[in-house]
A and B are shown apart, each in its own frame.
Chain A
Amino acid sequence: MMRSDRSTRLADIGDRMAFATTVDLLAAGDHACMTFTDQQERLDLVAAFVRDGLRRKERVVCYTDAVTPAQLAEELAHRSVRAKAAAARGQLRLLAVEDALLGDDGADGMVNVLSTEAKTAERDGYPGIRVTADMCWATRPTAAEELTAFETAAAELFTAGKLCVICQYDRAVFDAVTLAFATATHQKTVAALAYHDSATLRICRQYSPAGIRVAGHLDYRQQDVLEQALGESRRLDRHMHVNLSALEYIDAACTASIVQAAIRLPPSRRMTLTCQPLTERMLALAGAGEVPSLRVTRAHDHA
Chain B
Amino acid sequence: MYIFNSFIKIMKKTIKHIEPWLWILPFIVFSFVFSIMPIFKTLIFSFFDLNSKGHIVKYEGLNNYFYLFKDKVFYKSIYNTYKFVLLSVPAILLLGFILAFISEKTKHSKRYELVFSIPCAISPPVAALIFQTVFMPRVGLISKIFNIDFNILYSKDLSIFALAFIQIWLSTSYAYVYYRSAFRNIENSIVDNAKLDGANLLQLALHVYLPITLKTTIYLLFANTTTSMLMMSLSNVLTNGGPQYSTMTIIQYIYYKFINTGSLTISNTATVIYLLVFMPLIILFYFVLNRESRK
Task: Answer yes or no: do A and B interact.
Answer: no
Residues of A within 8 A of B (CB): none
Q: Which residues of B contact A (CB under 8 A)?
A: none
